[in-house]
């Protein structure tokens, strides 16, 4: 390509299909040609290029996204195939209801729609009829194709929608996305792990049983396996979706972590230090510690946190669900501990 460009001025267009299958080293090899304009690179991929194409190549490219075909587009493709000499050449007619059925099952994929049409035509001919009706269409294809790649955009998009639907308390939408993942062959352990995380992240103590439910579902997946464990996952999804929501646990640990990372890690108060070994008291370890069970209400007034964060208030319970009662108790306990 470089020699041709130098000798004749003729440019070369290099088309690479499924560029995501190239390793990073192979993609790196394309850079000199692109940078020096020896070739005009046109690359196609069904994956998210931000995950599957190296950054140097991506930054030198114009990104064009091709959307799925609409139902009308797919319907037009199938009508053309019915009449075109390269297709069925008018040998068979097709009911509108059967056409709509195959369009819906194709899920915006023209190639898949033609495969379904060919199968439906075969089913009609096997019955000795010259019209593709719903019976023939259903005999050929009875399950919709689920567009879902566990390594691609569909995985991330459906997972994101699944979590956000539960967080948003829409049990119906959450079940829809659960069914899509299960039907597409998603690892049920992955789904269960996401539920366990969500139980603490988005529900927390607003419903203390949420984590128990999620963990039980995860254990059921391990114990029972699919497809039966799909019931346990659905059980957990519904329970988490309809549960009251609170992110107080999330914000609490985030605030505590931020202080630690900022260097607020003062020494442990002397009265809380380990005092089980000989000589510990000479170091002042454990002296003046008050055993909580000896104090009124089982709560001793003493400092537990290092001086640098003695007044920190990380956990701020909401008034939603069970956390409303926890908030009232925690405020009383905090006053007793701190004496104010």
Average pLDDT over residues 224-248: 94
Share of the chain above pLDDT 70, in %: 93
Domain spans, the chain: 2-59, 71-140, 153-242, 264-338
- What local confidence, expressed as pLDDT, does residue 42 receive? 93
Asked whether the predicted pLDDT for residue 286 surpasses 80, the reply is no
- What local confidence, expressed as pLDDT, does residue 289 receive? 82
Asked whether the predicted pLDDT for residue 151 surpasses 70, the reply is no
Q: Cα–Cα distances in Å, from 180 out to 77, 176, 230, 306?
A: 26, 6, 12, 49
Asked whether the predicted pLDDT for residue 274 surpasses 70, the reply is yes
- What local confidence, expressed as pLDDT, does residue 85 receive? 86
User: Pick the residue with more confidence: 125 or 219?
Assistant: 219
Average pLDDT over residues 33-45: 89
84-93, 103-112, 231-240, 279-288: least confidently modelled range: 279-288
For residues 241 and 217, is the Cβ–Cβ distance under 8 A? no
- What local confidence, expressed as pLDDT, does residue 6 receive? 75
- Asked if the domains at 2-59 and 153-242 fall in one CATH topology, the answer is no
Q: Cα–Cα distances in Å, from 103 out to 87, 116, 139?
A: 17, 9, 15
No. of helices (H) and no. of strands (E), the chain: 15, 4
- Between helix 96-106 and helix 71-83 the angle, nearest 10°, is 120
131: confidence class by pLDDT, cuts 50, 70, 90: confident
Give the length of the chain. 340
Asked whether the predicted pLDDT for residue 163 surpasses 80, the reply is yes
- What local confidence, expressed as pLDDT, does residue 149 receive? 54
User: Token digits for 75?
Assistant: 């319907």
* 2-59 under CATH 3.40.980.10, yes or no: no
- What local confidence, expressed as pLDDT, does residue 278 receive? 60
Average pLDDT over residues 29-54: 87
Average pLDDT over the chain reads 87
List all residues 6 or more positions away from 84 whose beta carbon is below 8 Å from its beta carbon: none
pTM over 0.75: no
- What local confidence, expressed as pLDDT, does residue 266 receive? 86
Q: What kind and span of H or E run contains 50?
A: helix 49-52
Q: Cα–Cα distances in Å, from 291 out to 98, 130, 295, 335, 336?
A: 77, 89, 7, 18, 14
Look up the CATH architecture of domain 264-338. Orthogonal Bundle (1.10)
Average pLDDT over residues 80-106: 86
Average pLDDT over residues 187-205: 95
Asked whether the predicted pLDDT for residue 169 surpasses 90, the reply is yes
319 three-state secondary structure: coil
- What local confidence, expressed as pLDDT, does residue 205 receive? 95
- What local confidence, expressed as pLDDT, does residue 206 receive? 95
Asked whether the predicted pLDDT for residue 155 surpasses 80, the reply is no
Q: 65-84, pLDDT tens digit by residue?
A: 888 788 899 999 999 998 88
50-54, 144-148, 246-250: least confidently modelled range: 144-148
* 153-242 under CATH 1.20.272.10, yes or no: yes
Q: Is the peptide bond before 227 cis (omega within 30 degrees of 0)?
A: yes
Asked whether the predicted pLDDT for residue 282 surpasses 70, the reply is no
Using a 10 angstrom Cβ sphere, with 0-12 exposed, 13-18 middle and 19 or more buried, the burial of residue 17 is exposed
Cα 153 to Cα 168: distance, rounded to the nearest angstrom: 22
- What local confidence, expressed as pLDDT, does residue 152 receive? 56
Cα 185 to Cα 83: distance, rounded to the nearest angstrom: 36
Q: What is the CATH number of domain 71-140?
A: 1.10.8.60
- What local confidence, expressed as pLDDT, does residue 153 receive? 60
Asked whether the predicted pLDDT for residue 91 surpasses 70, the reply is yes
User: Token digits for 179?
Assistant: 């069914």
Looking at residue 205, the DSSP 8-state letter turns out to be: G
Share of the chain above pLDDT 90, in %: 36
User: Pick the residue with more confidence: 209 or 51?
Assistant: 209
Using a 10 angstrom Cβ sphere, with 0-12 exposed, 13-18 middle and 19 or more buried, the burial of residue 314 is middle
């Amino acid at each position: 390509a470089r020699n041709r460009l130098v000798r004749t001025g003729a440019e070369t267009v290099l088309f690479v299909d499924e560029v995501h299958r190239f390793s990073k080293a192979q993609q790196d090899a394309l850079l000199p040609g692109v940078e020096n304009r020896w070739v005009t690179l046109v690359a196609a991929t069904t994956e998210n290029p931000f995950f599957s194409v190296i950054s140097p190549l991506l930054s030198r490219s114009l990104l064009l996204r091709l959307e799925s075909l609409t139902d009308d587009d797919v319907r037009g493709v199938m009508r053309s195939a019915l009449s075109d000499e390269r297709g069925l050449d008018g040998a068979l007619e097709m009911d509108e209801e059967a056409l709509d059925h195959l369009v819906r099952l194709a899920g915006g994929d023209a190639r898949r729609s033609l495969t379904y049409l060919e199968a439906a035509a075969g089913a009609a001919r096997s019955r000795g009829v010259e019209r593709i009706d719903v019976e023939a269409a259903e005999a050929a294809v009875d399950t919709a194709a689920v567009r879902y790649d566990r390594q691609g955009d569909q995985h991330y998009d459906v997972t994101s929608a699944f979590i956000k639907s539960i967080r948003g308390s829409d049990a119906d939408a959450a079940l829809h996305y659960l069914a899509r993942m299960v039907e597409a062959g998603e690892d049920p352990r992955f789904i269960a792990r996401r539920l366990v995380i969500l139980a603490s992240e988005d529900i927390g103590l607003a419903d203390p049983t949420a984590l128990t439910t999620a963990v039980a579902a995860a254990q059921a997946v391990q114990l029972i396996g699919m497809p039966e464990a799909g019931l346990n996952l659905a059980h957990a999804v519904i329970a988490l979706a309809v549960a009251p929501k609170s992110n107080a646990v999330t914000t609490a640990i985030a605030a505590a972590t931020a202080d630690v990372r900022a260097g607020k890690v003062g020494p442990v108060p002397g009265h809380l230090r380990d005092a089980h070994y000989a000589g510990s008291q000479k170091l002042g370890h454990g002296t003046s510690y008050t055993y909580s069970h000896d104090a009124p209400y089982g709560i001793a007034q003493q400092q537990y946190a290092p001086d640098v964060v003695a007044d920190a208030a990380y956990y701020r319970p909401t008034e939603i669900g069970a956390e409303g009662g926890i908030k009232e108790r925690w405020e009383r306990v905090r006053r007793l501990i701190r004496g104010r």
